[in-house]
């Protein structure tokens, strides 16, 4: 495998967590960059339509992911060529499937922070549907929940190739259900989820506040457990902290086994760094591994990201993995993950003082022109600076919907292009926020 396609696999892996599964499978799995030239990544696709989608929907996400993998910023160039074919058709195994297989029990490092969850998952993968049903794994982001869940999936499938093992996310489950309700095809939905041998739902906390999804999940759950089918769930918090979770559902969750994953101790962190570098055939000096493990404590994804960046810097730019380089990469990772809420508060404060509109008014429904302008700009800046999804931005503004946010951001962009003075003000605000 050459280095660019290795980089691409890593970019895909990051995108997998950030793009709705359906979109990911439709748009991203089938493309692959052709070359990396002067910080420009070139993709060749076969239709204008695909090109537009990639430019409009994924440009930002892809650039961010490339940045995290490569450690430097790139631009994307999507070219349409009538002769190009989907690269995926060359192999009958998609990158997603290849990735799924990377998540095994064998490459999961066990330490005291995750040994209980690990043992429970192993047990369920060996004798499903009997003892721990449902099995719920909870823990903060980046601690290995999805890894364990996919390890269960792969192991179950390996032991029983004909079984239908369904993996989905709480978000995907919800979106599909909404689509089926709209198309009046809920029967198809029932068929799909109630005729499986095991159902694995990742990030189940997503269904909080969604009454119809909870109702549907409750019935799916009942049907499956009554037939002795295994259910595995993950959540970023324990069931009792999942807000507005239907009491019946909460009781069901608690009927099975609940196992938590805690942040790993230093020895486990070092072992993970070593394992991850071995996996990509990259040698990390002991001192560098220790440095990374001592600086990054709470998120394994960040440990892994650092290892991958070091490897890419070496393989692509020829830079050896020194303590200095590792410190620089860690610094970037840590500052990138500065709590977004802090940045958002700052944006609100900056916009408020620049335009003389209170934060409360920006978050309200008031339609006074000055308030509307400030609100639109604040949304625009939040989008630019944090890359947050529109729906989440809407929530910051008193629950405005996706379409409203979209419209407001377009409007703000329009105003900025037309008004040089405004452009200067916005640049200044952005600069203040970064400092």
Residue closer to ligand ADP by CB (options 141, 251) is 141
* Contact pick of 146, 213, 225, 373 for Mg ion (by CB under 5 A): 146
* Contact pick of 15, 114, 380, 382 for ligand ADP (by CB under 6 A): 114
* Contact pick of 29, 272, 326, 429 for ligand ADP (by CB under 6 A): 272
Do residues 308 and 10 touch, judged by C-beta distance below 8 A?
yes
Do residues 51 and 78 touch, judged by C-beta distance below 8 A?
yes
235 binding Mg ion? (CB under 5 A): no
Residue 109 interacting entry, from Mg ion, ligand ADP, none, C-beta within 5 to 8 Å by type: ligand ADP
* Contact pick of 108, 253, 348, 397 for ligand ADP (by CB under 6 A): 108
Site track 143-162 with ligand ADP (rule: CB under 6 A), x = hit: xxxxx---------------
Residue 258 interacting entry, from ligand ADP, Mg ion, none, C-beta within 5 to 8 Å by type: none
Tell the residue number behind the tokens 């209980």, with chain if given.
Answer: 116
278 binding ligand ADP? (CB under 6 A): no
Task: Provide DSSP, 130-172.
Answer: TSSSSEEEE--TTSSHHHHHHHHHHHHHHH-TTS-EEEEEHHH
Minimal distance, residue 203 CB to ligand ADP, in Å: 8
Residue 378 interacting entry, from ligand ADP, Mg ion, none, C-beta within 5 to 8 Å by type: none
* Contact pick of 6, 32, 304, 350 for ligand ADP (by CB under 6 A): 304
With left for phi above 0 and alpha for psi between -120 and 50, is residue 299 left, alpha or beta? beta
Residue 217 interacting entry, from ligand ADP, Mg ion, none, C-beta within 5 to 8 Å by type: none
12 binding ligand ADP? (CB under 6 A): no
Give the C-alpha separation, 9 to 28, whole Å.
11
Tell how strand 40-45 and strand 33-37 pair up: antiparallel
Stretch that binds Mg ion, among 46-54, 75-83, 137-145, 185-193 (CB under 5 A): 137-145
Do residues 54 and 45 touch, judged by C-beta distance below 8 A?
yes
142 binding ligand ADP? (CB under 6 A): yes
* Contact pick of 109, 249, 329, 433 for ligand ADP (by CB under 6 A): 109
Tell the residue number behind the tokens 């998120």, with chain if given.
Answer: 299
Cis status, amide bond into 413, omega within 30 of 0: no
* Contact pick of 50, 301, 308, 383 for ligand ADP (by CB under 6 A): 301
Residue with the shortest CB distance to ligand ADP: 144
* Contact pick of 74, 300, 426, 429 for ligand ADP (by CB under 6 A): 300
Query: Using CA of residue 333, residue 335, residue 336, residue 338, what is the dihedral sign?
Result: positive
Give the C-alpha separation, 343 to 433, whole Å.
7
Provide the CB-side half-sphere exposure for 121 (13 A, CA). 33
Stretch that binds ligand ADP, among 4-12, 68-76, 107-115, 190-198 (CB under 6 A): 107-115
Residue closer to ligand ADP by CB (options 174, 302) is 302
Give the C-alpha separation, 240 to 219, whole Å.
20
Q: In a 10 Å sphere around its CB, with 0-12 CB exposed, 13-18 middle and 19+ buried, how is residue 254 labelled?
A: middle
Site track 164-193 with ligand ADP (rule: CB under 6 A), x = hit: ------------------------------
Phi, psi of 235 (to 5 degrees): -150, 150
Neighbours of 77 (CB within 10 A): 16
* Exposure string over 286-305, b if 16+ CB within 10 A, otherwise e: eebbbbbbebbeebbbbbbb
Stretch that binds Mg ion, among 141-149, 185-193, 214-222, 244-252 (CB under 5 A): 141-149
Residue closer to ligand ADP by CB (options 114, 157) is 114
**Total site size for ligand ADP, rule CB under 6 A:** 16
Site residues (vs ligand ADP, CB under 6 A): 108-109, 114, 139, 141-147, 272, 275, 300-301, 304
Site residues (vs Mg ion, CB under 5 A): 145-146
């Amino acid at each position: 495998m050459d280095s660019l396609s290795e980089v691409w696999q890593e970019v895909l892996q990051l995108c997998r967590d950030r793009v709705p599964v359906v979109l990911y499978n439709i748009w991203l799995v089938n493309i692959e960059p052709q070359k990396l030239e002067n910080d420009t990544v070139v993709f060749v696709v076969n239709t204008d339509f695909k090109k537009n989608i990639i430019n409009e929907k994924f440009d930002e996400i892809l650039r961010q992911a490339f940045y995290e993998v490569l450690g430097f910023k790139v631009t994307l160039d999507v070219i349409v060529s009538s002769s190009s074919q989907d690269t995926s058709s060359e192999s009958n195994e998609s990158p997603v499937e290849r990735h799924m297989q990377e998540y095994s029990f064998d490459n999961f490092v066990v330490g005291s922070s995750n040994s209980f969850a690990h043992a429970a998952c192993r047990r369920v993968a060996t004798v499903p549907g009997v003892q721990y049903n449902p099995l719920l794994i909870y823990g903060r982001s980046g601690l290995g929940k999805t890894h364990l869940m996919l390890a269960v999936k792969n192991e179950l499938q390996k032991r029983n190739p004909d079984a239908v093992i369904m993996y989905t996310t709480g978000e995907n489950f919800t979106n599909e259900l909404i689509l089926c309700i709209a198309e009046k095809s809920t029967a198809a939905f029932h068929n799909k989820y109630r005729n499986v041998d095991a159902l694995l739902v990742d990030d189940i906390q997503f269904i909080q506040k969604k009454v119809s999804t909870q109702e549907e999940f409750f019935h799916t759950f009942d049907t499956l457990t009554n037939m002795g089918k295994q259910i595995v769930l993950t959540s970023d918090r324990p069931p009792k902290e999942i807000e507005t979770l239907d009491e019946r559902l909460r009781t069901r969750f608690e009927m099975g086994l609940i196992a938590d994953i805690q942040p790993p101790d230093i020895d486990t962190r070092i072992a993970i760094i070593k394992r991850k570098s071995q996996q990509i055939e990259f040698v990390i000096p002991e001192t560098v591994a220790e440095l990374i493990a001592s600086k990054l404590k709470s998120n394994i994804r960040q440990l892994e990201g650092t290892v991958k960046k070091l490897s890419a810097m070496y393989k692509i730019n020829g830079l050896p993995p020194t303590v200095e380089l590792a410190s620089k990469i860690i610094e970037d990772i840590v500052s990138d993950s500065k709590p977004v809420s802090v940045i958002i508060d700052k944006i609100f404060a900056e916009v408020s003082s620049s335009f003389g509109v209170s934060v409360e008014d920006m978050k309200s429904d008031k339609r006074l022109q000055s308030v509307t302008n400030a609100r639109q700009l604040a949304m625009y800046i939040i989008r630019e600076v944090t890359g947050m999804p529109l729906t989440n931005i809407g929530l910051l503004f008193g629950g405005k919907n996706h379409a409203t946010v979209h419209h407001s951001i377009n409007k703000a962009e329009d105003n900025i292009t037309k008004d040089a003075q405004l452009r200067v003000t916005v640049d200044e605000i952005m600069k203040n926020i970064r400092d």
